[in-house]
Amino acid sequence: MKIVSKIIAKVGAVFILSFSSITLLSAADAEVVSVETGSLKMELNKLKQKEKTCVAYILLKNRSDREFSEFTASFYLFNKEGVISAGNATNFQKNKILAGKTVLTMVPMKDVACNEVSGILLNRIMACKSGSEDVAGCMQMVETSSKSPVELFK
């Protein structure tokens, strides 16, 4: 299903969307789309305390046929009570993320104790480019996982 939408309002971390059109695809069309786009696997590998900063080590595995010239994402940390405790934007690679390549980035969250983190939200993809062109549907391409007891989700 392809949905074209625009943001009308932003309230905190909640977005209200207005759907302007809906296009249904057949199952065969959907398979072609998924084969062409591939996936981006984002894994929370570990959290490490560095003084007053909790650092999330996140792997991004490019399992698509596309090279990404820019990929920037925003994250929010949730404490044990489920309350947002910090947020950060991270550029995954200053150079290209090649097709089939895995990159590691560290996401520092200042004034956060790692043992108080219950989850990390991949809030949005702020930039996703191949060459000079924006890539549509980057968030849909991302599959999240975690090797840590802390969940990475979108």
DSSP 3-49: EEEEEEEEETTEEEEEEEEEE---HHHHHHHHHHH--EEEEEEEEEE
Give pLDDT, residue 117.
94
Secondary structure class of 69 (helix, strand, coil): coil
Give pLDDT, residue 96.
82
Give pLDDT, residue 94.
64
How many CB atoms are located within 10 Å of the residue 32 CB? 11
φ, ψ of residue 67 in degrees (nearest 5): -90, 140
Give pLDDT, residue 12.
32
CATH match for 39-153 among 2.30.30, 2.60.40, 3.40.50, 1.10.10: 2.60.40
Q: What stretches of 6-151 show up as alpha helix (H) in DSSP?
A: 27-37, 138-141
Side-chain-side CA neighbours of residue 48 (13 Å): 8
Rounded Cα–Cα distance for residues 135 and 114 (Å): 33
DSSP letter, residue 24: -
Q: Which residues of the chain have pLDDT under 70?
A: 1-37, 89, 93-95
φ, ψ of residue 104 in degrees (nearest 5): -110, 135
Give pLDDT, residue 95.
66
Both tokens of residue 20? 């302007």
Instruction: Please identify which residue in the block is written with the tokens 């007053």.
Output: 52
Give pLDDT, residue 51.
95
**Cα–chain center distance at 42:** 7
Region(s) of the chain under CATH 2.60.40? 39-153
Q: Among residues 29, 32, 30, 36, which one has the least CA distance to residue 99?
A: 36
Give pLDDT, residue 125.
93
